[in-house]
Amino acid sequence: MKKIQISPSILSADFSQLGIEIKKLEEAGADMIHVDVMDGHFVPNLTIGPPVIKALKKHSSVMFDVHLMISPVHKYIEAYSEAGADIITIHPEATDDLKSSISKIKKLNKKVGVSLNPETKIDIIQNVLDQIDLVLVMSVNPGFGGQKFMPEILSKIKNLKKIQEETKISFDIEVDGGINFENSKLVIEAGANILVSGTTIFKSNNGDIKKNIELLKSS
């Protein structure tokens, strides 16, 4: 079984002090930093772009797990790579040629992730699983933090785990959306090994980030 890793989402951080918040996350034991990039087009929200990521990267030595919710995504991949993304995750619906976009990320020596929205079937990425490093399973409809976890995605995680076991293809299974201390156990049991969490990490237990990360890891 793969080690459970926590990728805190800075979408729930204090945006006026992002550099300080990232330092806190790193000191509290975060395995990576999850950065949600939204364009107001692919999803109904706007967040941050390459200049902010480049500035924040100076405050951290852990990996930046950058989730691109932008369309068309292909032409922006290089900019986020140069800004400091270590993992670049894209949506199959946001590119005209998924294999070409995956290849572009790999040529930039970055880890590749592909994200599945709640309604997106595994079939759409089945033929690229041997080319990627992680599958990000969305357990909410992307766009905003603080949404409720959708339990119906547990079967998708289980199916991905089954594919892993049957094909011996190695990739991480990451889950993002409404993750808390209760459902984290369910997603880990289903087969996930990376948990993205924002509200739970920043707001639970009076904002004790270290304690919250430890509790999620020990789910």
Q: How far is CA 103 from CA 25, 34, 100, 128, 217, in A?
A: 31, 22, 5, 11, 32
Cβ neighbours, 10 Å, residue 151: 12
CA dihedral 29, 105, 126, 179 (to 10 degrees): 30
Catalytic residue selected from 31, 36, 133, 172 = 36
Annotated active-site residue 39? The verdict is no
**Residue 36 annotated to the active site:** yes
Task: List the catalytic residue out of 31, 39, 133, 176.
Answer: 176
How big is the CA angle at 130 (ends 80 and 170), to the nearest 5 degrees? 95
Q: What tokens appear for 91 in the block?
A: 């949506």
Helices 18-27 and 209-217: angle between axes, nearest 10 degrees: 50
Q: Which residues are catalytic?
A: 36, 176
